[in-house]
Amino acid sequence: MMKCRKLALTRCCLSRTLTPCRGRQVLCLLTLLMASVTLSAVALRMRGSEAPLSLSDFLHILFPLELAGHRRVPPCALLDGNDTELKGPIDADTDSIPSLAELEEWLAPSLLPGGLFIPRNCRPSHKIAVIVPFRDRRVHLKIFLRHMHPFLQRQNLQYGIFIVEQAGDGPFNRALLMNVGYREALLLHPSLDCFIFHDVDLLPLDDRIRYSCGGQPVHLSANIDVHGNKLMYANLFGGASMLTKAMMENVNGFSNVFFGWGGEDDDMSFRVRSHDMKITRYNLDIARYTMMRHVRENKNDRQKLLIDGRKRIHSDGLNSLRYERVRLDLRPLFTLIEVRINQTQVLTDQGLL
């Protein structure tokens, strides 16, 4: 398989993107013009960054060209357990730890910069962002990437993986990072319409767990091994969950005030249920996940935040999101978004200090 490498804009990369335009020079020129306009827009968004717009960023902008080239291919079939592409129950190797170089050599040839994948032979029904809140889990991240890229590609999904890293050593704010990932992913790719919020230490154990949105929010990780392979409680919405863009906008995203561990998932569960949506799940014999070992933080008392949060739904979330973007890096296997959060500012905005 030919490789489109990050360091050189080879004919391979260009022909891979523009193959459907061959023989239609006018369409090629128009498409390139659209790419140029998009490139200028992204350059403006990135103004203020110390690094100039790189070749990797330029290739990232060619993502819409791939989409344009897929208009004449058939829709991707909705795979089920009878499809040969799917394996059903699968194993997860959490013991061996690959290097990033090994992963890039293996996985990058099928990806666009930023960890983006588009099936070549069919047109996906959704454009999916897998958003992973992150800090200090380098080993977990490598295992996650090794497992998730093949898992998602077997389902014929168009997707990108976005790692949202919190800078500094302040209390971790998982929910705010997921809001950041949602917003930043849409800035890069406005056509995204399905968002999967995924902990880095969780790996699915059955590829019949369809990572593609439907008419209701989906709690994907219903059956986790460390939880005794059972659903812990009926309204659980943590670990890995899936919502459309319309759903996220309807509930104003996640709350931004949950610093430290615990509570943000229950707050989001209330948000979706209070907007006449129903949390759906796969059967427990399919919705199986393994959780990688890590040191657990002490769970904080969130009762007051949860109770008061019901009054803050329309003022605490996407419309009150504050953060400083430190870095946007389009890596071969994922898009890294590093941000700094001012806890005092966030809590003061909500009258909690």
DSSP string, 56-86: HHHHHHTHHHHHHHTTTSPBPP---TT-TT-
Element (DSSP H or E) covering residue 335: strand 335-340
* DSSP β-bridge partners for residue 280: 218
Catalytic residue flag (residue 91):
no
Catalytic residue flag (residue 349):
no
CA atoms of 211 and 130, how far apart (whole Å): 9
Catalytic residue flag (residue 294):
yes
Catalytic residue flag (residue 261):
yes
Sign of CA dihedral 321, 327, 330, 333: negative
**Given 207, 265, 316, 338, which residue is catalytic?**
265
**Look-up: residue for tokens 């909705």?**
78
**Given 199, 206, 316, 338, which residue is catalytic?**
199
**What are the structure tokens assigned to 302, written together?**
């969130």
Catalytic residue flag (residue 242):
no
Give the Å distances, CA to CA, from 199 to 64, 220, 240: 28, 11, 6
Catalytic residue flag (residue 296):
yes
CA atoms of 283 and 286, how far apart (whole Å): 5
**Given 264, 266, 267, 316, which residue is catalytic?**
264
**Given 47, 71, 72, 296, which residue is catalytic?**
296
Catalytic residue flag (residue 264):
yes
**Given 201, 206, 207, 316, which residue is catalytic?**
201
CA atoms of 223 and 226, how far apart (whole Å): 9
Active-site residues: which are they? 199, 201, 261, 264-265, 291, 294, 296
